[in-house]
Amino acid sequence: MDTILFGSVTVKHALIVLAVVVGGGILFGLVRSLGRKKDSPHVQAARCGACGWQGKVSRYAGRCPRCNRPLGERAAKPD
């Protein structure tokens, strides 16, 4: 741990900086995920009449992710 990497910087110093950067990144990711909206105005619930898939799709895509058939306006509206 006292091995000098360059100048007066040792392995111990480098590991401390690395731990702080990784910990800060994890903390930033957690705070960012807590602040996100759960419901997007660009996503809607849909059910495919052809294959029975149900879930959330983009309002702009309009296709079933399982069978790739068009959902159509009526089928793409929320249940």
Q: What is the pLDDT of residues 24-39, one digit of tens each?
A: 999 999 998 887 767 7
Closest C-alpha to 62, from 38, 44, 50? 44
DSSP H or E stretch at residue 15 = helix 11-34
pLDDT value of residue 18: 97
CA dihedral sign, ordered 9, 11, 13, 14 = positive
Report residues of the chain scoring pLDDT below 50. Answer: 74-77, 79
